[in-house]
Structure 1
């Protein structure tokens, strides 16, 4: 028996024990346990702010008219839509921030992970990347180049939740403890491992890259029963997720479902159920494929919502929807936003987000306050009745946005939020940035250059106001600097001297 099979068997035995003991657990938690809401975090990979028929801008855009996501529209109608939600500009940092409540500068998983001690950074002409936590997060201390943390599902487990992971994990490097969701607080893990993308989306390819002579590290685990079948990965994951939910419901356990789709990450492979209609609408092969993957994801959302209703639990189930970064560079730009995944501009980090909370969130409401990915951690814990949950890995940077959901005071207005990417990868160059109120400042590490934008007046970040508004720039530089000192943010080093790039310290 290999390591994965052993861990999966152990996980299944553990989950069975939890479910078998549900009556005792229910008595232990009493009536309070019965009232705990089920929570679903529906997480999408590489889907941009406008990659949906539900508009998140003040007006309908061309991409909104291209795509077909009726279930996202329904979720917005039944909950609250956030027009200014942010993630990191690349996947692993976002996923670890939501699991820990820490900003990427603090947990130091600032790029994507895969193989032990191997960084995906590309050579830079003048800089080397820092010794970042390339091995991801760890549930045990003293693992080289990892962040030792206590995760969101660990806290939820302790208060009686049955925790379910389905789909992409991407929390830790291959072969290390942080790779496996079972080690990070999930009672059930389906299809999660070290890789950030699937080998293939097609069951006929066994969800493997082998047919392309690709590395087997990308093969999606745990779905062997679908091998050889004409089934799309999104559908197989949804079937498995609903079976896991049914087990929790049958055992009368509140559940947390982390529904983490691999879509719409590369490899871009069409879902044949939806592809042809986009070809017929005049899209080329790539755009039609991309659109079919988006609609396939939306179908999963709809299937889950329908299943909750059929089980009579939709009124006691919270659904949070979000994506982990902006659209990839290969896809059409999410205009009017500038940039795309990996870049410091809004197109890299502004993402669609919605929350349905029956009896709490006003249906069809819209929130224009900005939130960021690390806010998911304290928000879900508060939804579950937990507060003041200490993070062993460091300070929790996230802020619960439950007050926004309740449309009550308590959420800090014009708070500062931060991004930190000390890497050279693809189109992404080393930078740190801050947003506070309407103002956003970017510090580019290589040449210590600044850009300043007023997002309320210039959502497309076309007009750099750094030279005109140095008063505002100086305040933002100082706040960014103080945060980076507090977080012990790692900076790239100069190849010539080995010294780190200076922290932002603009002086006119």
Structure 2
């Protein structure tokens, strides 16, 4: 049954606005989500020092946004797209919602096979708003809640909430009144208008990754990132006329593969000395950054800049340079972080994040406290002043508004948890069936197949080069106990051994 929002007394003035009694003073909110962006894929350094990668890329609008708001140096997500986006929309940890690998086809797992492990029957159909759909996690979306409170809700770009032909496939089922191109796929066939974004001349999609809904740009030289930005601004024009606060989820396909050339910026990076692939990747980044700048400029031109919150985030780390795709190395750089997308190491889960909130967040500041993607759920509801609500699912996220206001520290004495009992599509350091805990300075990774445990002191060793389990056995024991207890508490899944049929031990059982 659809969850019904309870309006508190504080929300009654907003409800009254529907009768024309008074305007709704709540802020607009833009969540600007980038796909597969590495921690160093920007001229804005999220580390304590600049690296040569920061010098190579140009992201002036990320710098512009950071100048207006707060950078988060320890913002975490899952290492794969679907788990992150399902945690975002549900507020539940991936260990609980069990969408622990990427989703696409209905009733089909996307795991690589293992000779040793039988992987669990995870929720490969994603999340959805109704009960009774197999291998899904039923959720009350935060978007539905803010829509019911009076927000106009817009989705633009990549959705990746549910598999093809499931209810979660369509963002309008999640509370979005406007859906621009959002569907089941987690990537795109082509960024190029000349290639109809992955459609034949007679309009047939060439793959499940062909971008729907951009027909008006077919046959042009307009890059998909720019087409989505133009469509988003048209939707904002309409939102302005509606005279409601709006929520825009600007979910770019960039900078996900394929590494197509955005010719607006490609030659500039070639002149900098980058090879063709590196220049194309850098151009993808700058095209994404231009989109951010265009939206910020729209707000300024339309008198909405002082009443709009902007949240910038990536869904997972970028491919690291030691990974391969279609026979060639990837060139995303997460340095000084270890590894990249799909990995339990920092390069897979630590993301670039910025929040601007005029009048609330002090401009040009940094926060080194940690948070996790499910925290966006209660945070956005708090920003929208939605104070009382019912959900069909437990909410694991904790609002990080106190970090933005400087009035509290929700990360204090808090553990973060990840579970990936799957085998993702690529190989690389830290990739494999794992569960992980971050507890203040310590991070423990447990490998399901081998029983191996790795311990790192993250503030002292951001690159995870010094494995400390032998030196600190008491810390390993404590974190193993807390990790195992949490996994059991939320009903997390684990693989089994093919040879015996028995489940792999939890970390506190070894």
TM (norm. structure 1) is 0.92
Give deviations 1:254-295, integer Å, cap 9, x for gaps. 100000000011111010000011111111111111100000
The residue that corresponds to 2:344 in the other structure is: 344
Give deviations 1:309-358, integer Å, cap 9, x for gaps. 01001100000000000011312431111111001100000010000000
Does the CA-based 8 Å contact 1:209-1:218 persist in structure 2? no
Tell me the secondary structure at the aligned position of residue 216 of structure 1.
coil
Single out whichever of 433-442 and 401-410 deviates more from structure 2. 401-410
Change beyond 3 A, Cα 1:24–1:482: closer
The residue that corresponds to 2:386 in the other structure is: 386
The residue that corresponds to 1:182 in the other structure is: 172
Alpha-carbon distance, 1:248 to partner: 1.2
Distance 1:61 1:484 in 2: 37
Q: Could you tell me which runs of 5 or more consecutive residues in structure 2 were left unpaired when the two chains were aligned.
A: 1-13, 321-329
Total equivalences in the alignment: 482
Does the CA-based 8 Å contact 1:210-1:216 persist in structure 2? no
Alpha-carbon distance, 1:215 to partner: 4.2
Tell me the secondary structure at the aligned position of residue 189 of structure 1.
strand
The residue that corresponds to 2:476 in the other structure is: 473
Give deviations 1:365-385, integer Å, cap 9, x for gaps. 110001111111110000000
> Are 2:53 and 1:54 equivalent residues in the alignment?
no
Distance 2:275 2:205 in 1: 26
The residue that corresponds to 1:76 in the other structure is: 66
> Are 2:100 and 1:110 equivalent residues in the alignment?
yes
Distance 2:461 2:95 in 1: 27
The residue that corresponds to 1:201 in the other structure is: 191
Give deviations 1:427-453, integer Å, cap 9, x for gaps. 231000000101000000001110000
Change beyond 3 A, Cα 1:297–1:332: closer
The residue that corresponds to 2:241 in the other structure is: 250
Distance 2:167 2:19 in 1: 31
> Are 2:417 and 1:418 equivalent residues in the alignment?
yes
The residue that corresponds to 1:9 in the other structure is: none
Distance 2:226 2:180 in 1: 13
Distance 2:464 2:509 in 1: 21
Does the CA-based 8 Å contact 2:194-2:221 persist in structure 1? yes
Does the CA-based 8 Å contact 1:234-1:296 persist in structure 2? yes
Does the CA-based 8 Å contact 2:156-2:228 persist in structure 1? yes
The residue that corresponds to 2:262 in the other structure is: 271
> Are 2:467 and 1:464 equivalent residues in the alignment?
yes
Distance 1:84 1:412 in 2: 11
Alpha-carbon distance, 1:28 to partner: 4.3
The residue that corresponds to 2:114 in the other structure is: 124
Bigger proportion of residues as helix: 1
Alpha-carbon distance, 1:497 to partner: 2.4
The residue that corresponds to 2:498 in the other structure is: 495
Match 2:295 to one of 272, 295, 304: 304
Does the CA-based 8 Å contact 2:262-2:280 persist in structure 1? yes
The residue that corresponds to 1:355 in the other structure is: 355
> Are 2:222 and 1:231 equivalent residues in the alignment?
yes
Distance 2:498 2:308 in 1: 52
Change beyond 3 A, Cα 1:160–1:416: same
Alpha-carbon distance, 1:156 to partner: 0.7
Tell me the secondary structure at the aligned position of residue 217 of structure 1.
coil
The residue that corresponds to 2:131 in the other structure is: 141
Distance 1:285 1:265 in 2: 17
Distance 1:498 1:138 in 2: 31
Tell me the secondary structure at the aligned position of residue 320 of structure 1.
strand
> Are 2:153 and 1:163 equivalent residues in the alignment?
yes
Give deviations 1:217-248, integer Å, cap 9, x for gaps. 11111111111111000111011111111111
Tell me the secondary structure at the aligned position of residue 115 of structure 1.
coil
